């Protein structure tokens, strides 16, 4: 069995047409699509381990998974061979042979997410699938000021949906900020980078920041909301289609 | 008939699912979609005049049309009423009562187009509908250097597809440039602004610039190619989905 390699791949995908990353009994997922393509390609059953359980409609500009295989296809040719079998909404970017103990779920050192809010009474035809359409006026200055309060090492128990399997709810956010795009002044992009994330953590942070933008929550209330560890103190869970996994750090 | 108003509207649309702007016997167009919605909305048959005949798959971040109507709906409410009847890939942005002699086709003073080239062996899941996927290495420096030769008042007879109805093929390009996006280094965006355009002019300029990028055409050959007025001297007509009408100047 010495020919078994632990192969890691970087991919990018538009999540619009998938029921999230993780394989499930009903609906096509990114994981099941890739496992099917890799199994056909290598001629044996492939199971992959992903770096994040993205929900239905969430996108990834950068995503890493790994799998064990005895395939003789040269690793540098794998992305092209895989892309040939995939629809245009998933692209394999690179592949490499990882250390035997590399595991995409546990070996990742950090991740950066971005979240797009389209703040206008009118929709944007190009951003329907890629942003949260928030029709009521948001105070971007307040959102920018509030975002930095999330930075640091905190217990984010109040910013988590049910369904996580973590041992601790303490996470360290290294970057939390908001900025307007140059292209559209109505587009606010929120960036959150952390060592690891709880289930729906970014979307709950964004939902809470939207409440700051409408004035329902004060900027200065954020630290107290974090400390409360009470999910009900924050805002709603922002919808999935505005969320992008932007960068995975190894 | 003194209640007839000449109403102008600004819209934005994703052209992916339309057979271009102009109504035709087969296929749904942006114009036919809008005319149907406005006719239902106002209760009488509406015919609109557009500022540009965009081809199938071409997009508009900004587009102006006008129509005559006796509607009693307040003009400032028209965009919202119209959007309610349109799919998410067309958005009405604003409406106003224009001068009686305003005509979107002839009253426009200039237009700016942008064109996206995605230059990578690998596709980009987010740009398939919004760029020309050009898999062979392009020299962006050469393209940038060549673009400026298109600026100025020239006879662009060689940069026109059959089917135009113009009296003259002389046009003045005020801006022609190329720049890389900050987000993706593989994305080159070409901007062309002119007083008016010939049929497929931007797409032929882009196809010619791609030939400069591959080395088939030298940067310094561009002036001569323009002077030749010979369609065969330039490059191919770049595909429609990379093209966006960016701004219409009144």
> Do the Cβ atoms of A138 and A121 come closer than 8 Å?
no
Give the minimum alpha-carbon distance from A175 to chain B in angstroms, rounded to a whole number. Answer: 18
> Do the Cβ atoms of B34 and B44 come closer than 8 Å?
no
Residue-wise pLDDT tens digits, B134-154: 999 999 999 999 999 999 999
pLDDT score at B64 = 97
Q: Provide the token pair at B107.
A: 């009253």
User: Is the CB of residue A244 less than 8 Å away from at least one CB of chain B?
Assistant: no
Instruction: Write the ipTM.
Output: 0.89
Residue-wise pLDDT tens digits, A29-42: 999 999 999 999 99
Asked whether the predicted pLDDT for residue A172 surpasses 90, the reply is yes
Active site residue B55: yes
Single out the catalytic residue among A14, A45, A55, A155: A55
Q: How confident is the model at residue B99 (pLDDT cuts 50, 70, 90)?
A: very high
Question: What top-level class would CATH report for the domain B5-98?
Answer: alpha beta
Residue-wise pLDDT tens digits, B154-179: 999 999 988 777 889 999 999 999 99
Distances (CA, A) of B87 to A121, A201, B30, B80, B93: 16, 32, 11, 13, 14
User: Residue A122 is nearest to which of B14, B61, B79, comparing CB atoms?
Assistant: B79
> Do the Cβ atoms of A34 and A48 come closer than 8 Å?
yes
For A129-194, give the DSSP string. TTSEEE-S---HHHHHHHHGGG-EEEE-TTS--TT---S--EEEEEEEEEEE-SS-TTEEEEEEEE
What is the average pLDDT value for chain A, to the nearest integer? 95
> Are domains A5-98 and A110-249 of this chain identical in fold?
yes
Residues 127-166 of B with CB under 8 A from A: 128, 130
Inter-chain CB proximity B93 and A130 less than 8 Å: no
User: Is the CB of residue B181 less than 8 Å away from at least one CB of chain A?
Assistant: no
User: Is the CB of residue A30 less than 8 Å away from at least one CB of chain B?
Assistant: no
Question: What top-level class would CATH report for the domain B110-249?
Answer: alpha beta
The CA distance from A247 to A193, in Å, is 9
pLDDT score at B110 = 96
Residue-wise pLDDT tens digits, A60-119: 999 999 999 999 999 999 999 999 999 999 999 999 999 999 999 999 999 999 999 999
pLDDT score at A166 = 82
- Closest chain B residue by Cα to residue A83: B122
> Do the Cβ atoms of B47 and B66 come closer than 8 Å?
no
pLDDT score at A2 = 61
Inter-chain CB proximity A14 and B126 less than 8 Å: yes
What mean pLDDT do residues A52-62 have? Answer: 94
Helical (H) or strand (E) element with B62: strand B59-69
Q: How confident is the model at residue B2 (pLDDT cuts 50, 70, 90)?
A: low
Q: Enumerate the domain spans of chain B.
A: 5-98, 110-249
User: Residue A89 is nearest to which of B61, B92, B125, comparing CB atoms?
Assistant: B125
Distances (CA, A) of A242 to A110, A202, B177, B195: 20, 11, 31, 37
Please report where in the chains the tokens 């939390």 appear, as a residue.
Answer: A176
Spell out which residues of chain A touch residue B89, defining contact as CB-CB under 8 Å.
125, 128
């Amino acid at each position: 069995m010495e020919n078994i390699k632990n192969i890691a791949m970087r991919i990018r995908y538009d999540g619009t047409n998938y029921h999230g990353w993780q394989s499930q009994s009903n609906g096509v997922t990114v994981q099941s699509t890739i496992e099917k393509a890799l199994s056909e390609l290598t001629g044996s059953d492939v199971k992959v381990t992903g770096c994040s359980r993205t929900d239905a409609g969430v996108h990834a500009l950068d995503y890493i998974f790994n799998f064990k295989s005895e395939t003789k296809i040269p690793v540098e040719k794998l992305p092209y061979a895989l892309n040939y079998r995939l629809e245009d909404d998933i692209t394999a970017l690179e592949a490499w042979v990882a250390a035997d103990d590399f595991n995409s779920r546990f070996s990742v050192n950090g991740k950066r997410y971005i979240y797009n809010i389209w703040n206008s009474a009118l929709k944007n035809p190009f951003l329907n699938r890629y942003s949260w359409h928030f029709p009521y006026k948001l105070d971007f200055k307040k959102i920018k000021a509030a975002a930095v309060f999330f930075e640091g090492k905190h217990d984010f128990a109040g910013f988590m949906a049910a369904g996580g399997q973590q041992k601790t709810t303490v996470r360290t956010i290294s970057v939390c900020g908001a900025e307007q795009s140059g292209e559209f002044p109505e587009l606010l992009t929120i960036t959150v980078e952390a060592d690891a994330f709880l289930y729906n953590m970014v979307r709950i942070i964004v939902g809470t920041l939207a409440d700051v933008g409408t004035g329902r929550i004060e900027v200065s209330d954020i630290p107290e909301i974090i400390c409360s560890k009470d999910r009900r103190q924050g805002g709603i869970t922002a919808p999935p289609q505005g969320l992008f996994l932007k960068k995975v750090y190894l």
